[in-house]
Structure 1
């Protein structure tokens, strides 16, 4: 076991900055070395370092432990049986240290205090024709010249030839060697389908996370006095600071200007408004001649259409970026809004029969479950009834 590598992965997981490949690597280490006392010591070390950031120090259940080790998003095409007994001896030793890493990113926990039923000594996770598994890491890249490449099918180190330039696929991102005239004028579009998500890094070091059904168009090399990108759907940004080159995000009629910060933008075409939530730093919102500055914890709401009004309100940051952290977060959310998010993530249609349910949803639920399990959990809240017909969710009051 490479101690420094394990420490890097554990710290990155708790800080939510691992790529999906690194999460898989950590999962494999925890499965193969689960009975190694050194792993427990390293987890204790990371737990001690980040104890002050933990909101809930309660001991997670063995179901939580298994959920993180067997993340359905990364192993959607595998059929596997997980023997709970093989984890228990290690679990009791590591549970305290694992709490900070697992709480909030695993099996659903509802504010109503609903307890999960005991599923017996074994949990069987299968993919069948009837099962609808959650989204996974997948995206396409439209290269200069129009060629479309499926990133999830590319092998590490693959070279992509363009007219007068060569690109490399490394660590889930497209990299360039130097900058010639062709590269300086070249833009590319990264796009996720419904049922997909993707994380990459731009040439300036800015990290971006795309939710399902989203896109970002950006230059391969930022060479002007502004770093400008255009998005659709929902994208989270962690912008590399550069006071000499402001970072500008265009979302329909709205532009967001920053120097270095992290924020979330939701701008799906079917939604009536664009929502920008600031996590840290500062941003300037602009639509037409209207300009407003945001502070951390604030969300700007820009209605689409002729109005240039920008409404600013204080929101729960956790709710805005829950999708990036692997779960759905519902706070008095109407059924239609919640089902839009679920439909995009599982790439399914939603149909309503009879009157719309008037009770909002409250609570959090993992995006790692297959759709039937997720709907069963939602039914426990009493907000609505759900049935599945092939790739269609039927919602009834």
Structure 2
């Protein structure tokens, strides 16, 4: 497929507009993806000579910004992610089409960004009640261990599942722990059927078997919960500064220690957020509780549910997000550091697949924010 004709450029704009408003056909979406893949491959290939048309680049930039900054699209959740991925594709294609990197014309500082740091993946350590550690990325599918009336196994898709067996001591409530490193994520199905997705640099501690009175887990970092309904046993998520109490619901808790706020977002059902001093808030779907780690103030607001759980679905979604917060998210997923002393007070909006390399992500941020990024000794520095 050619990538430099005016006809293709016009068709690209037309189809990206249709993807954005939800009217694109399957054939148009397929053409769009083939175009972007071909454009990126051609631009990155050695010796590619693609014209740098400032007027076309500016027009495409305006089109991209107008669409990715739109807060509500009216699309279904699934289609919104498809549209977001497509719009990110045009952003990436624009970077490579109109700013091709060559050894001849790029300064040394840009070469630092070209360090190919890959995206994170499914990595975690499972620590059993007896202290035994299991590297889950190294474990094959099938049984991992049996303990306390439970079979713990890994599925073919890499998920850890706790399943009750007919034998064993189901009253054993010894604590297990699953921890993801920086650059890792993992999901686990607990003994009661509740499912938890852990983001990077997060730890979940939980009983092998929940007690008769309640289901209590402890979280450091960020996790998305789909709690199995049980009216007789409340499910509680304990963090350093608050407790989230539910019976059966879907919600996300972002409790990283280096964040200024602890954010609890409800997607389905109802939850009660209780702070250490005893302040309480009830949430409805679409609401987020924000606990200030310094002042202890607890407030709630309406948020985009899809944006909050984008990480679970394979995306970064930035919606008027401070650059410092953007870089903190990147640092956890790509296992790098950030020099926050150089970060300006600017905001970003846009969507980026988490499968992209750090090089590709920073190139997108440079293009959309008119800032330069360097990577020095695995530390992101903003110029």
What TM-score, normalized by structure 2, do the two folds share? 0.71
Counterpart Cα distance in 2 of 1:371 and 1:257: 37
CA 118–63 in structure 1, closer or farther in 2 if over 3 Å, else same: farther
Provide Cα deviations, 1:240-270, integer angstroms capped at 9, x if missing partner. Answer: 1111111111111211111111010000111
- Residue of structure 2 in register with 1:343 after alignment: 331
Q: Does residue 189 of the first structure (1) align with residue 177 of the second (2)? A: yes
- Residue of structure 2 in register with 1:268 after alignment: 256
- Residue of structure 1 in register with 2:288 after alignment: 299
Q: Does residue 221 of the first structure (1) align with residue 209 of the second (2)? A: yes
Q: Does residue 116 of the first structure (1) align with residue 82 of the second (2)? A: no
- Residue of structure 2 in register with 1:240 after alignment: 228
- What SS does the aligned partner of 2:117 have? coil
Alpha-carbon offset, residue 215 of structure 1: 1.0
Does the aligned pair in 2 maintain the 1:215–1:231 contact within 8 Å? yes
Counterpart Cα distance in 1 of 2:197 and 2:302: 23
Alpha-carbon offset, residue 178 of structure 1: 4.2
CA 334–147 in structure 1, closer or farther in 2 if over 3 Å, else same: same
CA 179–277 in structure 1, closer or farther in 2 if over 3 Å, else same: farther
Query: Structure 1 stretch 218-227 or stretch 373-382: which is displaced more?
Result: 218-227
Unpaired segments of 5 or more residues in structure 2?
A: 1-19, 38-77, 98-113
Counterpart Cα distance in 2 of 1:216 and 1:55: 39
Does the aligned pair in 2 maintain the 1:360–1:383 contact within 8 Å? no
Aligned length: 300
Does the aligned pair in 2 maintain the 1:108–1:365 contact within 8 Å? no
- Residue of structure 2 in register with 1:310 after alignment: 298
- Residue of structure 1 in register with 2:308 after alignment: 320
Counterpart Cα distance in 2 of 1:239 and 1:185: 19
- What SS does the aligned partner of 1:217 have? strand
Alpha-carbon offset, residue 102 of structure 1: 6.8
Counterpart Cα distance in 1 of 2:303 and 2:83: 19
Q: CA RMSD in A?
A: 2.9
Counterpart Cα distance in 2 of 1:62 and 1:353: 43
- What SS does the aligned partner of 1:333 have? strand
Does the aligned pair in 1 maintain the 2:115–2:375 contact within 8 Å? no
Alpha-carbon offset, residue 165 of structure 1: 6.4
The equivalent position to 1:368 in structure 2, one of 348, 351, 355, is 355
Provide Cα deviations, 1:95-118, integer angstroms capped at 9, x if missing partner. Answer: xxxx949715745529xx847249
- Residue of structure 2 in register with 1:44 after alignment: none
Counterpart Cα distance in 1 of 2:34 and 2:143: 35
- Residue of structure 2 in register with 1:170 after alignment: 154
The equivalent position to 2:141 in structure 1, one of 137, 148, 156, is 156
Counterpart Cα distance in 2 of 1:229 and 1:280: 19
- Residue of structure 2 in register with 1:141 after alignment: 126
Counterpart Cα distance in 1 of 2:96 and 2:279: 55
- Residue of structure 1 in register with 2:82 after alignment: 103
Alpha-carbon offset, residue 330 of structure 1: 0.8
Does the aligned pair in 2 maintain the 1:105–1:327 contact within 8 Å? no
Alpha-carbon offset, residue 57 of structure 1: 4.2
What TM-score, normalized by structure 1, do the two folds share? 0.68
- What SS does the aligned partner of 1:381 have? helix
CA 137–149 in structure 1, closer or farther in 2 if over 3 Å, else same: same
Counterpart Cα distance in 2 of 1:66 and 1:367: 21
Counterpart Cα distance in 1 of 2:381 and 2:330: 13
CA 251–138 in structure 1, closer or farther in 2 if over 3 Å, else same: same
Alpha-carbon offset, residue 67 of structure 1: 9.7
- What SS does the aligned partner of 2:137 have? helix
Query: Structure 1 stretch 338-347 or stretch 183-192: which is displaced more?
Result: 183-192
Alpha-carbon offset, residue 368 of structure 1: 0.9
- Residue of structure 1 in register with 2:246 after alignment: 258
The equivalent position to 2:198 in structure 1, one of 166, 188, 210, is 210
